[in-house]
Structure 1
Amino acid sequence: MSNDPFDESVLPPERLGQAAFVLTVPVFAYLGHLVFDDLLFGGLVGLVVGSGTFLYLPYFMYREAAARGDASGFDGGHARRAAVGMGLASGGMVALAGRFVFEEAYLIPFAVAAVLALVVYVPLDYALPAVDAAEGRDG
């Protein structure tokens, strides 16, 4: 028997992250079409933000399960993936905001987004606790 609290779940964390990714891309594509009349730019932003959501959402679900004491023995890669995901999600939002400043450019908003994603990722890679870290448990 596995220690995974989501074994019996209809929607495990990884599947929920995939669903968030699949739903984010068309929403941002439509937003790009509506605001900038550019479906491709919105779709690219949706890919970046959706990828970030896909990466960081399972971390928080596993972290909550570990804080409740439901599971142990999670792999340590969830924290690193969550840091990358938060960097990508924030970078995608900055790319969207950057398009308001650089109206006809594709490269500049995504270059600024990549720099911000790295600025967010590096400290979070060190600061995020492992999923099964003992802090926060009420035991």
Structure 2
Amino acid sequence: MGNSEVVLWRSTTLRRDARTSWHARQATGLWLADHDPAVRSDALQIVAELVANVVQHVPNGRGRNWVGLRLGFGDGFVRLEVIDPGTPSPVPCFAPRQAGPLAESGRGLGIVACLSLRQGTRLLAGGRRVVWADVAAG
């Protein structure tokens, strides 16, 4: 599977609003324009799901109207990271739910888990949270 070290990063900070997922997909698509279409497709879906979670679940407000996006290239994988301003709960969490077949929400992290080699979350200074996923790139 290769080393899990990332050697090259691309990043941007997006304004948090109704179009944030679209902007995140655009940036990711540009960064992966020369990569295998399957890698690009999986990365676009993962980014859309992770950013949608931030927009839907992370409290908004003054100084919290942003979403960070990073994409890194490793040996045999592409790492996607979405950084948010944090939540009142300081515990990082990456736990796909078991959504029923007719549920309209709750499938996002399950989709991320299915499309990625590995995924997780960690906390940064100030309570900011990083949710990440690695996509196989051969």
Q: Same fold (TM over 0.5)?
A: no
Task: Normalising by structure 1, report the TM-score.
Answer: 0.34
Max Rg structure: 1
Q: Select the structure that is richer in helix.
A: 1
